[in-house]
Every structure is written in structure tokens, then in C-alpha cells.
Structure 1
Amino acid sequence: MHVDLSLEELKVYQGKNPKPDDFSSFWKSGLEELDIISTNYELVEEDISTKYAKCYHLYFNGVGGARVHAKLVKPIKEIATGQGIVMFHGYSVDSGDWLDKLAYAQAGITVLALDCRGQGGLSEDTLVTTGGTLRGHIIRGLSDTDPQNLYYRHVFLDAVQAVRILKRIDGVDPNRIGTYGQSQGGALAVASAALEPSVKHVYAVYPFLSDYKRAWEMDVQNSAYEELAYYFRVFDPTHKEEEAVFSRLGYIDIQHLSERIEGSVDWVIGMRDHICPPSTQFAAYNKIKSKKNMTFYYEFGHEHLPNHADDAFKKFLTIL
């Protein structure tokens, strides 16, 4: 039983959400804004450090002047390999515990784990915008006439800045950087690699933030995209602005960014995923032009996928 299109249809699916005509200039402007922001950072050591790694709270100034937080786990010089990974977390939570980062550090890999602004971690959200924020971050800034005030524009740029900062960390080879995340984190792993193409490898697990119109057409109120239904119910119940809404969402749709990725990509998908439906993911995956591989979990949805974390660990060790 399919929860979405058949696999044959998915393999050729190209997405439904429109791409704004000025998409390229929109992100060019965003990156130019980022270029003038310092990549300096502040470190505060955490007392969980071990004999083979040091743990730090890292703070940097993001777009809009936000103070953005990340966890940094740095292997000691004697075991450092020069490899580095930026980790991104799922929707609404935070960068997680130190333990999984320490596992990478034990193997000599430096890890930077971002807290998305305004979510469950320590990062600030300084975005000033018009309109409501009912039940989620996708719609934050959606009623604003200026798409530069979309919440996820700022988060995508934070993700790029995190990659750039990791490249500056002592002992890290800037040509051996990977990105890794699940759901929202998977989307940021894709977006950051698309906007910072020096990323060598992406490991994305059932990414969010793709093909919004397709998600809305499906069982949207039982998915991660449910806030779109609430947005229309409250702010546009007769859908007079439907075309403009989905066009604006196109700026923060990873399917329109994924073709820019130059590094290799591992993509992990649950074929019974009702939260981030397979078609929304294939819309982005099918546009990737670099070397790529998709791993299918046929009987799984948006949940723990056994063995994938071990696979990611091995891939980063060998590819970076």
C-alpha cells in the first residue's frame, strides 16, 4: 500500500511548488549579506570534556544581529583527522546531547551542532516581521511583503555561516566538511551544502521544507506542514492569495536549492512517511546533479530508522 505516488512515479517526480523568478538573485543577495558578517565566534568550555576531546558552547552573530548558539566538540590535536561535520536538528527542538558528537570526536572528527534560532536551543531570534506565527515557523514572515523576512531565509543563512565557521576552526581541513541532519535537520544539511558548495558530503534523513504545495495537497493537517492549513484557515480562508503564498514559500523550498550541491549526497527515506511525504523529498532529490544515493526503508515512516546513524558515521569517516 502506497502512502504517496508509486516508486516509479516518485523517481521522475519534479515537484509542484513554484520557483520565484528572482530565486537566484534572492539567495545571491542573502549570501552577500552574510559575506559582510564576521565569522568570529566566542567559545565557552563545557565541563563534559573528555581526555580525547573538548566540548564548547560556540556563539556567533548571525544575520539580523541574532546571537546564534552551537555546540562544538573538538578532538585533541593528536587524533584530529581534519574532517568536520555540521549537524542540524529536527523541528522545534535543539542540538541535542553531547554524546553522539563525542563519538565522532573520538574518531578525530570535529563537530559543530547548530541550534536553530527561536526554537528549543540557546539561539536568539531577532526577526521583526508582520503577520501571524500560528503553529509554526514555516509561516513566520509569510504575510510580509518582503520575502527577505521569511524565518527560514535567516535559518538557511545561519546554516551556511555554521559551515563557514567550522572551516575556520583550528585543525579542520576546509575541503573535508560534511553536513548531517534529520527532518528539518536534513533540509538544513541540503540547503547549507547548496549555498556553500564546498561541502564535500551531505547525509540527509527524510528532509523537511520541500515542495510545500504538494504537501498541502496531501493530508497536510497530519504532516509536518500542518501550519499551512492553519494559515489558510485563519488568514486566507477563501485562498485569494494562494498563488502568492506558494510563490513566496518557493524561496525557502529546498527542491529549488538542491541542484546547486556539488558534493556527494546520501539520502535516507521512509516510504511510509506521512510527516514529510516521499514525493516532497523526491522533488528535491531528483534535482541533485552531483553523485547521490538513496537508501529506502520501505516499512518505515518518520521515525527512528535502524542502523542509519552507524551508516552515516562510516560514510563520513570514509568520504570526507
Structure 2
Amino acid sequence: MPLTDLTLAECLALRPDLHEPPDLDAFWDLTLREARAAGGTPRWTPVDTGLTQVTTFDVAVPGFAGETVRGWLHLPAGAGLPLGCVVEFLGYGRGRGLAHEQVLWANAGYAHLVMDTRGQGWSTAGGDTPDTATLNGEVPGFLTRGVEDPHDLYYRRLFTDAVRFVEAAREHPAVDPDRIVVTGHSQGGGISLAVAALVPGLAGVMPDVPFLCDIRRGAQIAGQPPYTEIAEYLSLHRDRADAVLTSLSYVDAAVLASRATAPAFFSVAMMDAVCPPSTCFAAYHRYGGPKDLRVYEFNGHEGGGGHHRRAQLAWVKDLFSAS
């Protein structure tokens, strides 16, 4: 598994000049105001997972355009309230899965809110979250859905869902609204960066080998999907590169990262062919708040795996102990 991109020294020195749309803040302000105006109330329905030390709820939150977004809320049984909370966003192609599958953070003593990913993953007994938009790109996947116009972008809808999930977490009586950390691997890492930029007052953010950062470069150099979806689309539509890449800049997590202020704990893998390390470093260098980084020099897209989960557990413990 060779290096896929720049060396570590080159990545540490990298300061890319990314295109930032002049109306970026207005675009997201309007998007989120419209989502909130659509109304709706989060629903938290207890479910029996067979686990005795974790209490789980089937979650339904009004997301983009008020559409229902599913998820799971896990709470450590018998813990004193309110709790620090970890809100997790998932990798490309993944849905929330089964109710008992992801309980690490609850076992560590925190509330853990897992967001389903619209249109991705697979159905469960509790239902999943469809993407109701009819606009689709001409390349299979999600990156080119509605890619000709930033208002139609799939990730405009998904980022809005994620913001609304964090807002729902703040309203839950079991959650301390001042102690919320957002996290995710790959696609989830990119979402967490966008949320950190769009939601003030977070306690922290943990982007793990984040996707959707320096999207133009990702489309140019990534050896494996999903960035390759953009390259394939533009290989068919040779005259649309500027329009498409300008549209995608509205959801580029490295562009948005400069607006984030919460403490951040990044991970980057130097042999990552899915999210090339230079794209992850673009977000790290542009990040607007205090930040730390773990680099896994001999790993691919799996990143630090269990070793990094252990580092994240220690980071969150220290973060919440200081608050």
C-alpha cells in the first residue's frame, strides 16, 4: 500500500488557496432558516435492544425541508443527567444500522446520537431516511446529485439534516447543551466539519480522515471512489467543470472549516486513496479553532481504527473534564 499523495512534510507545509463563494454565509443562513421554518418536533421512542446497560431510543428529527431523518439515541443506563453528548455522522453508503450496533460512546458514559444518512445504507425495522429529491446526477452515487446548482446539491440537504440533529440533541433533557461533540469517519468527518462551521457553541469536533475537503483536488487525484464520481461526471460533461466545481464549493468542508471555532481533533492517513491526505490537511490547516492531529503514516482509509477510538475517548474525557 504505497503513498497516494504528497509526503507528510509537504502536507504539513500545504496551504491551498480554495475558492470561497462570496455568498457562502448567506447561502447557509437561508438554507438553515428555511429548514427551521418548516417546523416539526423531534420524537424519541424507546426500543428494546436486549442490552441492559444502555438505553436506546428510535429517533425522528425534522431535517431539510422538515423531512424526517432517523437515528438512534443511546444513553448509559442509570447515569446522572444531563450528560455530555457525542453526535455521530456516518461514512459514505452507511445508514444507522441496527439499534444495538454502535454503543461505544454510551458505554463510555455519554449520550450518543447517531444520525441516519438520507438515501444511504439499508432499511431496518425502524425505517431509514429516503432522499426525496428527484434530481440525480448521471453518475451512480451521491456527489453528482443536483451538482449543476448549489441549491440542488445532495450535500446541502445532508448538512442541513446534521445541523438539525445537533439542535435536537441540545433540546433533549438528558443532554447538556454546552457539552456536545460532533464526529464521524470519512463522509461523517466532512459532515462534522461543516456542522462545526454552521453551529456555534459546540464543545468539540473530531473529523476522522474527512471526506468532502478540497473537493477539486480530491476529484483530480483520488484513486478510489467517491471523489472519482466527480471526475467521471466531468469526463462526460467537459464544458461544465467550472460550474460544477463552483457549485460543490458551497459544501466543501475545508472551505467551511475556517468558520469553526470549537476545539478539534483530526486524524489523517498518509496512504489513503479514498480521501487523499492533502485534502484532509487542507481542512486541518484552514480550521478556525484550536486543533490537534493524529497522523497514521502506514494506513489507508481505515485510518487509526481502534487505536484512534482510544485516543478519541481520552480527548473527549479531557475536554469534558475541563468544561
TM-score computed with the length of structure 2 as normaliser: 0.90
Structure 2 counterpart SS, 1:310 = helix
Counterpart of 1:25 in structure 2: which amino acid?
A
* 1:156 corresponds to: 159
Among 221, 224, 246, the alignment partner of 1:222 is 224
State the Cα distance separating 1:187 from its structure 2 match. 0.7
Preserved CA contact (<8 Å) 2:268 2:303: no
State the Cα distance separating 1:210 from its structure 2 match. 1.2
**Distance change >3 Å, CA 49–CA 87, structure 1 → 2:** farther
Counterpart of 1:168 in structure 2: which amino acid?
E
Equivalent residues in 2 for 1:109-124, closer than 5 Å: 109-121=110-122, 122-124=128-130
Paired with 1:166 and 1:195, the residues of 2 have a C-alpha distance of 15
Structure 2 counterpart SS, 1:120 = coil
**Distance change >3 Å, CA 310–CA 99, structure 1 → 2:** farther
* 1:318 corresponds to: 318
Counterpart of 1:171 in structure 2: which amino acid?
A
- Size of the alignment, in residue pairs? 313
State the Cα distance separating 1:169 from its structure 2 match. 0.9
Say which is worse superposed, 40-49 or 163-172, in terms of deviation. 40-49
* 1:141 corresponds to: 146
Paired with 1:290 and 1:246, the residues of 2 have a C-alpha distance of 26
Give the superposed CA RMSD.
2.0
Among 178, 183, 198, the alignment partner of 1:180 is 183
* 1:22 corresponds to: 23
State the Cα distance separating 1:51 from its structure 2 match. 3.6
State the Cα distance separating 1:174 from its structure 2 match. 0.5
Residue segments in structure 1 that go unaligned for 5+ positions in a row: none
**Distance change >3 Å, CA 101–CA 319, structure 1 → 2:** farther
1:127 matched to 2:133: yes
Identity of aligned residues (%): 31
Structure 1 counterpart SS, 2:177 = coil
State the Cα distance separating 1:191 from its structure 2 match. 1.0
State the Cα distance separating 1:77 from its structure 2 match. 5.1
Give a deviation string over 1:55-81, Cα, whole Å, max 9, x none.
Answer: 111012222342210111123454445
State the Cα distance separating 1:105 from its structure 2 match. 2.0
**Distance change >3 Å, CA 9–CA 103, structure 1 → 2:** closer
Structure 2 counterpart SS, 1:194 = helix
Structure 2 counterpart SS, 1:57 = strand
TM-score computed with the length of structure 1 as normaliser: 0.91
Counterpart of 2:301 in structure 1: which amino acid?
H
Preserved CA contact (<8 Å) 2:82 2:173: no
**Distance change >3 Å, CA 210–CA 108, structure 1 → 2:** same
Preserved CA contact (<8 Å) 1:84 1:109: yes
Paired with 1:90 and 1:78, the residues of 2 have a C-alpha distance of 29
* 2:194 corresponds to: 191
Paired with 1:63 and 1:223, the residues of 2 have a C-alpha distance of 26
Residue segments in structure 2 that go unaligned for 5+ positions in a row: 123-127
**Distance change >3 Å, CA 33–CA 62, structure 1 → 2:** same
Runs of 4+ residues deviating >6 angstroms? none
**Distance change >3 Å, CA 32–CA 81, structure 1 → 2:** closer
Preserved CA contact (<8 Å) 1:17 1:246: no
Equivalent residues in 2 for 1:3-22, closer than 5 Å: 3-15=4-16, 17-22=18-23
Say which is worse superposed, 81-90 or 149-158, in terms of deviation. 81-90
Structure 2 counterpart SS, 1:293 = strand
Paired with 2:166 and 2:89, the residues of 1 have a C-alpha distance of 11
Counterpart of 1:157 in structure 2: which amino acid?
T
Preserved CA contact (<8 Å) 1:179 1:189: yes
Paired with 2:280 and 2:178, the residues of 1 have a C-alpha distance of 27
